[in-house]
Amino acid sequence: MTDLSQNTASEPRKHGGSLLEQTPRTKKRNAAEKRFRAYGIAAIAAGLVMLIILVTTIVGKGTGAFQQTFITLQVELLESKLDKKGERNIEDIKKVTTFGYAPIIKGAVAAAVEELGIETSLKPKKLAGILSKDAAAQLREYVLANPDQIGQTVEFRFLASSRVDGYMKGRVHRESIANDKNISPEQLDLVDALAAAGVLEKTFNLDFILGADASDARPEAAGMGVSMLGSLFMMFVVLALALPIGVAASIYLEEFAPQNWLTDMIEVNISNLAAVPSIVFGILGLAVFINYMHLPTSAPLVGGLVLTLMTLPTIIISTRASLKSVPPSIRDAALGVGASKMQAVFHHVLPLAAPGILTGTIIGLAQALGETAPLLLIGMVGFIASNAPETLADGLLSPNSAMPAQIYEWAKRADPAFYERAWGGIIILLIFLVTMNTLAVILRRRFERRW
């Protein structure tokens, strides 16, 4: 190798320097590298920050809905107002409308104020204004259920009005109520005094979770319970239809389908349906189930049918994946001992794929549970269901709302007191979703098989 020196002379090495020193160019390139890496970290951080903001907003704004301000009052159920004839005839008592209960409530508030020695310039009507408009209804319901109590003095826990509740939660301030005809500074003074006396207090509000929606004027009485049932009935329909149909379709496509145009057609359709905007399914539901088949509007059955069609592609895709993950050797083994192909699939492949199918189904259900847009079109929004359905058929066919639709409904209302309800509703909805997804993850972890 005599040409060594000649070679080095004719071609000076371009990276001739020591490895231990970084050339300026390398430094520049490494700086670019650091920048690029920083962009990546920034992107991840941006995503996570959004998540944190979202979660803290929801929790911060929504937890208030689970607490409510109540006022405990001794109410004298005056016979002179409630049952003039004194016969305790339920028909007579029923004739007294909630309007007729107002004086009793006014009296009860005034009595409490007097007893506690609170000085106020408010008239009785204004005094009672710190109570929810629901109070009279609550009182009437009690009296109708217990007519024998008329004439007695009974202790009641009344909802405070949404303004008072907002004041207790820091949502309503003295400065912000200048133009608010529903509350005055004197009333807030009274509220402070009542709170100091322990008559007015903020406690956990079970009615928000279990109760029904309330009218525009009574945000303090609105609850998620009935719409939760609506969602439940829809999920029942989705589960009952989407799971069997989805599994059957997947079995056909994965195990039996020949390579032909029909199979191709089905596959293309499934992958496209998975990406069709949900609102389009709403239009389909409106046109087919309501306009054509005349199923009742706002019924969870229709909502369930629409969500079934929407969820099917998700379930089919995940079911096929779990069928595919069962190794062919299992099928061969079953066929080898003389089982028919159908038996091999139903006796051996399907049980092995079951955990995966279940996981996919739960995730599909969670997706359906949070879906709102199609429900708007089939009229599941804006309906105020005042009481819970009693039978399965009633639950499926009588008008109802659903959790996300109920949240949307609250968000649309003018009174900001409903916003707290909407965020609170989101907490409930998310608790459902988190539970379902956790269940799916646990199932997957627990039963995941590696072949």
State which of positions 319-358 bind another protein (CB under 8 A): 340, 342
- Give 113's contacts (C-beta < 8 A, 6+ positions apart): 120, 127, 190
Nearer to another protein, 112 or 377 (CB): 377
Q: Is 447 in the site for another protein (CB under 8 A)?
A: no
Q: Is 312 in the site for another protein (CB under 8 A)?
A: yes
User: Closest separation between CB of residue 291 and another protein, Å?
Assistant: 7
Nearer to another protein, 155 or 390 (CB): 390
Nearer to another protein, 81 or 413 (CB): 413
For another protein, the binding residues in 159-198 under the rule CB under 8 A are: none
User: Closest separation between CB of residue 290 and another protein, Å?
Assistant: 10
Q: Is 411 in the site for another protein (CB under 8 A)?
A: yes
Q: Is 96 in the site for another protein (CB under 8 A)?
A: no
Q: Which stretch binds another protein (CB under 8 A): 110-118, 171-179, 201-209, 405-413?
A: 405-413
Q: Which position among 74, 97, 149, 269 is part of the footprint of another protein (CB under 8 A)?
A: 269
Q: Is 386 in the site for another protein (CB under 8 A)?
A: no
User: Closest separation between CB of residue 385 and another protein, Å?
Assistant: 17
Reduced 3-state DSSP string for the chain: CCCHHHHHHHCCCCCCCCCCCCCHHHHHHHHHHHHHHHHHHHHHHHHHHHHHHHHHHHHHHHHHHHEEEEEEEEEECCHHHHCCCCCCCHHHHHHCCHHHHHHHHHHHHHHHHHHHCCCCCCCHHHHHCCECCHHHHHHHHHHHHCHHHCCCEEEEEEEECHHHHHHHCCCCCCHHHCCCCCCCHHHHHHHHHHHHHCCEEEEECHHHHHCCCCCCCCHHHCCCHHHHHHHHHHHHHHHHHHHHHHHHHHHHHHHHCCCCHHHHHHHHHHHHHCCCCHHHHHHHHHHHHHHHCCCCCCCHHHHHHHHHHHHHHHHHHHHHHHHHCCCHHHHHHHHHCCCCHHHHHHHHHHHHHHHHHHHHHHHHHHHHHCCCHHHHHCCCCCCCCCCCCCCHHHHHHCCCCCHHHHHHHHHHCCCCHHHHHHHHHHHHHHHHHHHHHHHHHHHHHHHCCCC
User: Closest separation between CB of residue 116 and another protein, Å?
Assistant: 38
State both tokens at 29: 């390139």
The residue type found at 251 is I
Q: Is 424 in the site for another protein (CB under 8 A)?
A: no
Q: Which stretch binds another protein (CB under 8 A): 17-25, 80-88, 123-131, 155-163?
A: 17-25
User: Closest separation between CB of residue 70 and another protein, Å?
Assistant: 26
Q: Is 235 in the site for another protein (CB under 8 A)?
A: no
User: Closest separation between CB of residue 114 and another protein, Å?
Assistant: 42
User: Closest separation between CB of residue 287 and another protein, Å?
Assistant: 4
For another protein, the binding residues in 272-291 under the rule CB under 8 A are: 272-273, 275-284, 286-288, 291
Q: Is 42 in the site for another protein (CB under 8 A)?
A: yes
Nearer to another protein, 42 or 196 (CB): 42
Q: Which position among 393, 438, 442, 447 is part of the footprint of another protein (CB under 8 A)?
A: 393
Q: Which position among 154, 370, 388, 444 is part of the footprint of another protein (CB under 8 A)?
A: 370
The burial class, CB within 10 Å (0-12 / 13-18 / 19+), for 201 is: middle
Q: Is 51 in the site for another protein (CB under 8 A)?
A: yes
Number of shown-chain residues binding another protein (CB under 8 A): 102
Q: Which position among 154, 373, 388, 443 is part of the footprint of another protein (CB under 8 A)?
A: 373
Nearer to another protein, 48 or 196 (CB): 48
- Quickly count: other Cβ atoms within 10 Å of residue 28's Cβ: 11
Q: Is 408 in the site for another protein (CB under 8 A)?
A: yes
Q: Which position among 122, 270, 349, 417 is part of the footprint of another protein (CB under 8 A)?
A: 270
